[in-house]
Structure 1
């Protein structure tokens, strides 16, 4: 249950308006729904603030609809850090959530973009050294947490795709490769305008069990598409829509609100 709840938190983090480098304070709000086969299974709301080269993001996530009958997961997520040039430099990430009556925590601390400590409660069980790929110190250098990994700093929409993001969720280290797919437009409360869609490739690096079917599917067969839109005039682009193919169907993450607030 821990791993499935942890995965939900990481998945919801994909749909997140995040950091902006701004001389004056700027705030953003996003509301998202995660659906499967047309049925809502989770909801999330995030608010973020950026001031003097620093960012702070807070959010809530919860299971919704029929999913609550099987895994009533709900919790809060927070992320803080600084912005150096066009790079996010996380300092701390924390997720506190419950699944039924079971409480869990993921706490990651950073220094200069490198993970210095990870706390997961309850602690993971013993790993089989024959099948488990351990995380090394080198794997944790210059990585982003689940929130910071969702946004892109770029000079224009045309430059959003064509990059690889190093992602760490407290257990797994993976690379997310974004390649150009298409351009388009979208209209949701708070935003109407141009978008760009990237295909997202998934490459597990460490912190996973070899031969796991779900991961092999994400790596080799899944079709994952992420559509980005600009956060005002900040030069930051955040997901406004995403689809993730799984072994049993496609997850869709859609923004119901995507706006700058003052």
Structure 2
């Protein structure tokens, strides 16, 4: 049986691997797609696997992810999850309209669905509805405006015409609402690196430090919240989606008391797609 500390550190890994940061709704610039697979490890031991697919066309985009526990962690607690987002491409900007996520464990299942309009949460639901906790900081209507869903938010836009893989990519911050918690994320540049996936992408990434600030929908005394707020050594390495100015996480790292928790791409296949040509008579 895992200790209480081990359980919440593994929860921190799972949560942090889903962290999303954007630098603002900027034009997407051309079209492309990504087919990626990831492995999660804790102190070098595999604990989870997942896949992420993104398609950006001239007028719409879709993103979907699926994952689950693996290796040592699966021996203690089997779980799986999915996530997806859809939206429009308006004047080149990615505008999310729907977001959904679900998790299933041996003890329970949960589903979250959100409808958005220009960065405002119009409706959202968690099924089954969680019990009211008086210690949880409530989410107000103001907290649901000017936000990104986690899936759309994870596609980092770098404005301009220069190489998007530069220190400027790490100068962003974002307000995110995941259906339960509203939080702010901030990036700072750390370094440039070269990575090599087992299949697909080989090349440079920009590594950003990431800082987490909870705003609402959380319980302040939770150990995982305290840990993430105080952490000053979490980082994300971003790689490009070919044919666009969009960067997505290639690797996420969070040091813990049990060792380094990391999510890293083992497959990162990305290709540009040509814009649609208007039909003529």
Which stretch shows the higher mean deviation, 177-186 or 150-159? 150-159
**Is 1:235 aligned to residue 234 of structure 2?**
no
**Is 1:13 aligned to residue 18 of structure 2?**
yes
SS of aligned partner of 2:170? coil
Residue in 1 that maps onto 2:214? 204
Aligned mates of 1:41, 1:89 — CA distance in 2: 33
For residue 84 of structure 1, report the CA deviation from its aligned partner: 4.2
Give the unaligned 5+ runs of structure 1: none
CA contact 2:58–2:92 (8 Å) conserved in 1 = no
Give the unaligned 5+ runs of structure 2: 1-7, 274-281
**Is 1:170 aligned to residue 179 of structure 2?**
yes
For residue 120 of structure 1, report the CA deviation from its aligned partner: 0.8
CA contact 2:28–2:94 (8 Å) conserved in 1 = no
Aligned with residue 150 of structure 2, among 143, 146, 153: 146
TM-aligned CA distance change 1:6 to 1:186, over 3 Å: closer
Aligned mates of 1:12, 1:31 — CA distance in 2: 13
For residue 85 of structure 1, report the CA deviation from its aligned partner: 5.3
SS of aligned partner of 1:127? coil
Which stretch shows the higher mean deviation, 83-92 or 200-209? 83-92
What is the root-mean-square deviation in Å for CA atoms of aligned residues? 2.6
**Is 1:111 aligned to residue 120 of structure 2?**
no
Q: Which has the higher strand share?
A: 1
For residue 145 of structure 1, report the CA deviation from its aligned partner: 1.3
For residue 102 of structure 1, report the CA deviation from its aligned partner: 2.1
SS of aligned partner of 2:139? coil
For residue 13 of structure 1, report the CA deviation from its aligned partner: 3.2
For residue 124 of structure 1, report the CA deviation from its aligned partner: 1.4
Aligned with residue 221 of structure 1, among 222, 231, 239: 231
Q: For this pair of structures, how many residues does the alignment match?
A: 255
**Is 1:68 aligned to residue 74 of structure 2?**
yes
SS of aligned partner of 2:150? coil
Q: Which is bigger in relative contact order (C-alpha 8 A, separation at least 6)?
A: 2
**Is 1:137 aligned to residue 146 of structure 2?**
no
For residue 49 of structure 1, report the CA deviation from its aligned partner: 1.5
CA contact 1:228–1:238 (8 Å) conserved in 2 = yes
CA contact 1:63–1:72 (8 Å) conserved in 2 = yes
Please give the TM-score of this superposition, normalised by the length of structure 1.
Answer: 0.87
Deviations 1:73-122 (A, max 9, x none): 11322111123456532111111231015221111111111111111112
TM-aligned CA distance change 1:83 to 1:244, over 3 Å: farther
